[in-house]
Structures are given as C-alpha cells and as structure tokens.
Amino acid sequence: MTDAVEKAVAVMDRLRSPGGCPWDASQTHQSLARYLIEETYETIEAIETDNMALLREELGDLLLQVLFHARLAEELPAGERFSINDVAEDLVEKLVRRHPHVFGSTDVADADEVNENWERLKVAEKGRTSAVDGVPLSQPALALAGKLVTRAERAQLPVAVAGDGIGERLFALAREAANAGVDPESALRDTTRRFRAAILAAEAARDPFERHRPTDQSRRLETPIQHDEA
C-alpha cells in the first residue's frame, strides 16, 4: 500500500480502537449500510455532473466505507475475521483470474468476448445454478429489471411478464432498453435530471409574485385530511 493508504488504515484503526471516537466505536456493518448507499449516490452525482473535484472527494468517502467495514471485520471471531489486506488480496486474485486474456494464454476478439468470459468464470467460481443468482433485489427497480432481462437473454430463457398495468409497461420499456444495450436506470436518471433542469428554468422565468402564489393543486395538497370520527 502507498503511504497515504497506510495512513488512512491507521487513522481508521485509531478511531475504532479504545480511546478513539465513541461514534465510530458504536458502529456495526448494519448501521453503516445507509452511509454506504448515500456515499454511492453522491459519487454517482459527481460522475453525472462531470465534477472531478467532487468525484475525488466522494471516492475518498467510499474508501472510508471500505476501510471502516474491513476494520470491523477484524473484530470477528477467528475463522470469520478479515482485514483490508485480505480484501485487497482477494481483489487482486479475482482480477488476475477473470482476465486470462491478459495474465494467461486465452485469446479474445473484443470487449464483448471479455465480458462473456468474465460472466462464465463468475458462474463457475460461485457455483450458480440459476440466471437470477447473485442479482440483488435491493437495487433500484429499473436497474433490477434491466439486469434480470440481460441474465434471461444470456441464458436464452424466453420469459415474459403478463399484464398491462403500469408495472408491466415500465418493465417492457426496461426490457426494450436492455435489448438495445441501454442501461434503463441511467437513461431515466438522465431524462429526470433534464426534467429537473426544466423545472428550475421555468421557476426562474416565472414572475416572482406568481412564483409564490399557491395553485389549486398546492391548496389541495395542503388541505388536512378529514377523518371520520364515526
């Protein structure tokens, strides 16, 4: 590790150790999960806004989460515990193993074949028996739909979802995007970001008096719900 990374590991250890920070000492993998999600979204925000200074900062915050979870893992019982070095070593082994065209003698024609080899090696390593194995259900719905569609297509499973409700139509659009090689989550985020910019532009163009005048819709939203006491 570089001096800076070693210092980061040492600082994290100091914060977590007796005499360190009470807040850090009270955390668990479970309590930190929300911060990992928040930092991930903040990193995505930096990427989508092409803010390299912010990306540098957010990558540091993500690194903190990795260091924090690895430090907590050092406190696990023997046989379960691991350190940041173990995490890094596992990563190196995986990268070498999953890139036989770089570190071995496998020949590939293009990036698509590299991706196919990666997925095939992953399935073999993890002993997966289903196309849905390893797909986290907790991810955003559009991303989840796109991932499942891709898995089903790769496994050559002609699966369809019956119905004509909003959910089915949204899924059909996610399938259309995935089949076209477009990430549906990223596509909708881009469109939503442009919609947000249009809202801000419309607000800026509105007369200041009109901007603060309540509309019929806002009045309805602000009206308390009347509960029947009977």
3-state secondary structure 38-53: HHHHHHHHHHHCCCHH
Nearest Cα neighbor of 128 from 107, 154, 102 is 154
- Taking only the tens place, the pLDDT of each residue in 180-224 is 999 999 999 999 999 999 999 998 988 777 666 666 665 555 555
In single-letter form, the type of residue at position 209 comes to: F
Rounded distance between C-alpha atoms, residue 140 and residue 185, angstroms: 8
CA 168-173-174 angle, to 5 degrees, is: 95
- Taking only the tens place, the pLDDT of each residue in 136-192 is 998 999 999 999 999 999 889 988 888 999 999 999 999 999 999 999 999 999 999
Q: Which tokens hold the place of 55?
A: 């990306």
- Taking only the tens place, the pLDDT of each residue in 72-83 is 999 999 999 999
**Where do we find the tokens 């990193």?**
43
Q: Would you say residue 39 has pLDDT above 90?
A: yes
Cβ-contact 55, 46 below 8 angstroms: yes
Cβ-contact 135, 107 below 8 angstroms: no
Q: Would you say residue 2 has pLDDT above 60?
A: yes
DSSP state of 17: S
Helices (H), 49-108: 52-73, 84-97, 100-103
- Give backbone dihedrals phi and psi of 176, rounded to 5 degrees, phi first: -60, -45
**Where do we find the tokens 């369809």?**
160
Give the pLDDT confidence score for residue 26 in this predicted structure: 97
Of 21-25, 115-119, 226-230, least confident by mean pLDDT is 226-230
Q: pLDDT category, 230, cuts 50, 70, 90?
A: very low
| Residue count (the chain) | 230
Rounded distance between C-alpha atoms, residue 144 and residue 9, angstroms: 34
- pLDDT mean across residues, the chain: 89
Average pLDDT over residues 110-123: 88
